[in-house]
Amino acid sequence: MMVALPQSWTGQTFDPPVALDIATLEGAILAQLKNAAAQEGNVLAKMRLEHFPDRPDAFRLANAMGAVLVRYHGTTYGPNLDTFAVVQEKKLTFEIAVIARDLGWAYGGPASGTAPGAYAIMEAVRAALIGFRIQGCSRMYVVREEFVSRDKQGGAWYYAIDFSFTTASVEASTPDDEPAFSRGVMLERGGITEKLVVPAAYTFNSDDQITLPYSNLSGVTVTSDPAGTTYVLGTDYSVDQVNGIVTLIAGGPIAAEATVLVGYSYAEQVIAILSGGTAPTAPSN
């Protein structure tokens, strides 16, 4: 059956205030898989890494190894957190489809097989995406992993791994003329809002920066490695607490590309809602 549009469609560009639309997020996940594939010895280097095709029933493997495909699965939304605008926590889920000709071995051969099978590919996908964090979102985690089907004609095994992460859905609206702060929410994990990380060794890169694995930092300490000298915040180094970046201040006692011990605390994702207009603290709110 053919459907005729009333007029030709030239496409539409979605330009959100923050680049957290579905296409951008899916592109970031695919880019992370390709970054992992670029590492020496990673089995993903032998796979086709692509967005899910528009016609999955017609998709066929073009190489002897397999494919890893990324697809948006869906989103669930939490209750509204604000009284002046619609602000909700949203949990997005993306499916990673793994297609391989073998499971983990060739028939009648050793378990290692002659080529990466579905099991090895799934392990590599998990390693690449667990803990991966897109700016403005929480870290990714696995929701489920399951067998989908066996394509007898094409000789391929199909598995699916679902990954989820959270962010905020905020109404694009004009603030009302109301008090500025309406509600603040700290998202807890296991009843803990702040976690302490013991000092560990990190090395400044060529840009004189250390990017820590967590954001929303507090209580950052930097000492020499081995411990002995405690460096001074604001004099020897600076900290971007929101993004988790420690920057060396030139001219101080810390040498370029030095290895130091960094200790800190970090908080889980925070949603702070700033609503309202000019009352009652104009013009400073």
Question: pLDDT class for 282, splitting at 50, 70, 90?
Answer: very low
Q: According to CATH, where is 3.30.2000.10 located in the chain?
A: 22-170
Give the E-state strand segments of the chain in sequence order.
48-51, 66-77, 87-100, 141-151, 156-170, 181-186, 194-203, 209-211, 217-224, 237-240, 245-248, 259-267, 270-274
**What is the residue type of 62?**
A
Please check whether the domain covering 22-170 is classified as CATH 3.40.1520.20.
no
Q: Residue 114: how many CB atoms within 10 A of its CB?
A: 11
- Token pair, residue 230, equals 């405690």
Spatial distance between the Cα atoms of 276 and 285, rounded to a whole number of angstroms: 9
Highest mean pLDDT among 33-42, 99-108, 179-188, 265-274: 33-42
Q: Which of 271, 30, 261, 263 is nearest to 167 (CA)?
A: 271
118-133 per-position pLDDT tens digit: 888 899 999 999 999 9
7-22 per-position pLDDT tens digit: 554 555 544 445 678 8
Is-cis flag, bond preceding 6, omega within 30?
no
Percent of the chain with pLDDT over 70: 70
202-250 per-position pLDDT tens digit: 999 999 999 998 888 888 999 998 878 899 999 999 999 888 999 999 9
| CA distances, 130 to each of 29, 122, 125 (Å) | 11, 12, 8
